[in-house]
Structure 1
Amino acid sequence: MTDPDGPKDAIGGYASPPCLAHEIGPAYFEPLAVDQQQATNVARWRKAERARLLAQRSALPVAVRHEASEAVAEQLDRLLTARYGSIDGLTISAWWPIKAELNLRHWLEGVAARGARVTLPVVVTPAAPLVFRFWMPGCRMVQGFWKIPVPADGPEMVPDVTLAPVVGWDDAGFRLGYGGGYFDRTLAVLRPRPFVIGVGLQVARIPTIFPQPHDIAMDAIVTETGSQTGSGA
């Protein structure tokens, strides 16, 4: 997904890319929902863990990340076939890769050729839910917020399946993202709620993300080694 954070890096500022963004804003935790000291401690831990995992991922050779992307694409096909039988007619949202994320654009071209409708997340208003705009190979792209390419036009759609890139993930299906809360905000209001798949590397598995009241578990987690059901299913 070009670096979505513009001039900011992975551990500074509040700017957040549409694929799960960047740093926790001061109003992100609901004051009455969680102990403030706990929230502060968790935010501090997540910031450090996020930096560690991003550095670990960036250090992987490009060939290793490419092989992982190909393996994830196969795992996604298996999971979606098992759940839906056919992807023809499904609306699937994904992402434009950034920060050494797995690159699934080739897979997206393939599912579009098989009859799926593909969308990409777009930030229309900062710190608000994302919208999902129709994408197809060769469509006109423009630079969106944080310099991420997004479809220039086309209808906004509610996805049946949403892929969310993960920086880290745990066995309960919770994901550590970039920290801006965009996907949590979006999933909280999307109706009907899509089937949500966190996608990342097996090495990014951690014991827990210390989930807070605002965190929403994925329905499944897919890595290059396989898939598992999350607690959101």
Structure 2
Amino acid sequence: MAKNNGSEGRYASPPCMAGEIAPDYFDPLGVDPEQACDVARWRRAERVRLRAERQALSVEVRGAVGTALSGHLRDLLADQFGDMRERVFSAYWPIKGEPDLRPLMADLHGRGARVALPLVEVKQSPLVFRRWTPETHMVRGDWNIPVPPPQAEVVTPEVMLAPLVGWDRDGYRLGYGGGYFDRTLAHLSPRPFVIGIGLQAAQLATIYPQPHDSRLDAIITEDGVQVMQMPGQGEEPQERK
């Protein structure tokens, strides 16, 4: 971060408030403060850019992307888990131009999977997962997103989808900046198998991962599936079209 010449301690750009880094899980002693501020500012700008590009897609393109993603996700679930019957599968309700996977949610429910949706019950706390079925009467939750009602069963996911605003080949995710995803993964035990869902065009060279960022197990775009290699398993992710 550049400083003004002749003005010790003052910055050429506005001071970073690290707005997307929640204080309850961000350790300011764990990373260089100026670097963290630069990363936070860059991420904020990339979110605006990538969301605008996603919103500009036509309805037809979004539909084709959703169909392709659903097909790749079915294949990955079959490869990794076989029969999803009785497994808890956490999806998410599409917002802000995200691919619509609700037909796949209904199909998995019909095949015996226990489908759930994440929601915020307490601010700055891990997400809670409530059971969903096609007959569930939805209510408005945080950010006005439809969620299952309070009386719905609370479950712990074995497989969890994560919406991607951006992503990189190392398996790191650029989300919406609230910190809920990483906070939830740090809380869940055992950790679910986490699949990022996003657009191929949203790939970045890196998201500049910070200590609080959690690595995904796989990433799916309309172009195919990328399964991450965990430490000790090799260097390169495995790609399947």
TM over 0.5: yes
CA deviations over 1:168-188 (Å, ceiling 9, x no partner) = 000001010001110100000
Identity score, percent: 53
Give the counterpart of 1:174 among 157, 172, 175. 172
Give 1:128's aligned amino acid: S
Match of 2:125, SS? Answer: coil
Give the counterpart of 2:202 among 197, 201, 204. 204
Task: Determine the C-alpha separation between the residues in 2 that align with 1:230 and 1:173.
Answer: 6
User: Who is 2:228 aligned against?
Assistant: 230
**Pair 1:84-2:81 in alignment:** yes
Match of 1:196, SS? Answer: strand
Q: Which has the higher contact order (CA 8 A, sep 6+)?
A: 1
**Pair 1:217-2:215 in alignment:** yes
User: Who is 2:162 aligned against?
Assistant: 164
Match of 2:129, SS? Answer: strand
The 1:188/1:83 distance shift into structure 2, 3 A limit, reads same
Paired residues of 1:89 and 1:116 also in contact (CA < 8 A)? yes
Runs of 4+ in 1 over 4 A off after TM superposition: none
Task: Determine the C-alpha separation between the residues in 1 that align with 2:91 and 2:120.
Answer: 14
Give 2:137's aligned amino acid: R
Match of 1:110, SS? Answer: helix
Q: Which runs of 5+ in 2 are unaligned?
A: 1-16, 232-241
User: Who is 2:51 aligned against?
Assistant: 54
Tell me the number of residue pairs that the alignment of Structure 1 and Structure 2 aligns. Answer: 212
Alignment TM-score, normalising by the size of structure 2: 0.85
Give 2:191's aligned amino acid: R
Alignment TM-score, normalising by the size of structure 1: 0.88
Q: Which runs of 5+ in 1 are unaligned?
A: 1-13, 15-22
Shift of 1:229: 1.5
CA deviations over 1:105-164 (Å, ceiling 9, x no partner) = 111000000010000001010111001000000111111111111101211111110000
> Alpha carbon RMSD of aligned pairs, Å?
1.4
Task: Determine the C-alpha separation between the residues in 1 that align with 2:92 and 2:103.
Answer: 12
Task: Determine the C-alpha separation between the residues in 2 that align with 1:124 and 1:114.
Answer: 29
Match of 1:129, SS? Answer: coil
Shift of 1:232: 5.4
User: Who is 1:122 aligned against?
Assistant: 119
